[in-house]
Amino acid sequence: MLLTLAWGSLFFPGLFALCTWGLRRARPEWTGYDCVMISTRLVSSVQAVLATGSGIVIVCYCKNVVSDRHWLAREYVWFLIPYMVYDTYAMYLCEWYRTREQNRRYFLTIFRNFLSKNRLMITHHMAILLVLVPTAQRLRGDLGDFFVGCIFMAELSTPFVSLGKVLIQLKQQHTLLYKVNGILTLTTFFSCRILLFPFMYWSYGHQQKLSLLQVPSRIPFFCNVANAFLIAPQLYWFSLLCKKAAQLFDTPSAEKDG
C-alpha cells in the first residue's frame, strides 16, 4: 500500500512536470497556460489508459463476478489516490495561469474562479476520495473485484475528452480530427460510462440466473443507491457532450442557410 502510494505520488506530478518542461522547450510560442493545460490533459489520458487496462485485466480474470479476486482491484486504487490529489492541484494551476495572463493576480479571485468553474469535478474527486476509496478498500470486504474493474474501465473515454479540449485550446475545432474525435468521445462515453451500469447488473444476473429487471431487487439497497449516485453525473456530462456535438454538426448547415 505505502509503496504504491509513493509511486503514484511521484509518477503523476513528475509526468506533469516533464510534459510541461518538454512543451515549453518544443513550443516556445505557446503561453504558460497552454503548456500547463495540455500537460494536465496528457497526464489525465495516461491515467485513463492505466485505469482502463487494469479494469480489462480484472474483468477478464474474474469469472465469478462476486467472489473472484485480483490484486489490481485494490492496488490500483492506492495508485489512484495521489492522482486525484494531483489533478485537483493541476486544475487550480490551470486557473492560476489563465487568470494571471488576464492580469488578475489576486489569490481570492483565482480561488473563487477555480471553485466556480470546477465545482462538479471537485465534488467528483472528493466523492472518490471520501466515499469510493473506503468502500473499495474496506467496506466491501473481499467481494466485488469484478465491479471495481468495471468502474476502472469507465476511464476509456477520458483520452478522447482530453484531446477534444486540447484541440479547442489550439483552435482546431474546424478540423476533421476534431469531428472524428467528437464521435469517438460520444461513443466511448456512452458505452463505458452509461451502458456500464446495465452491464454490471446483467453480469450479476447472468451468474445468478436472474433477468436484468430482477437484479435491482435482489442486491443490497445501498448498491442501487451507490450506482445511482455514480451514474447521475455521467448522465449530466453526457448531455453536455451531446449539446456540444449538436452545435458542432449544426454549424455547417447554419452557415449554408446564412
Q: What is the pLDDT at residue 105? A: 59
Distance CA 17, CA 21 (A): 6
Confidence of residue 204 (pLDDT cuts 50, 70, 90): very high
Q: Which residue has the cell 472524428?
A: 180
In Å, what is the CA distance from 24 to each residue of 28, 184, 208? 5, 29, 55
Across 160-199, b (16+ Cβ under 10 Å) vs e yields bbbbbebbeeeeeeeeeebeebbebbbebbbebbbebbeb
Q: pLDDT, tens digit, for every residue of 227-258? A: 898 898 899 989 988 888 787 766 554 444 44
Residue at 3: amino acid letter: L
171: region left, alpha or beta (phi > 0 left; psi from -120 to 50 alpha) = left
**Cα radius of gyration rounded to whole Å, the chain:** 20
**Predicted pLDDT at 60:** 95
pLDDT score at 254:
45
Mean pLDDT of the chain: 88
- Given a cut of 90, is residue 173 above it in pLDDT? no
201-210 burial code (b ≥16 CB/10 A, e <16): bebbbeeeeb
Report angle CA 137, 232, 183 to the nearest 5 degrees.
105
pLDDT at residue 256 in the model: 45
Q: What is the pLDDT of residues 133-160, one digit of tens each?
A: 888 888 788 888 999 999 999 999 999 9
The pLDDT tens digits of the residues spanning 37-70 come to: 999 999 999 999 999 999 999 999 999 999 999 9
Percentage of the chain exceeding pLDDT 90: 57
The predicted structure's pLDDT at residue 161: 92
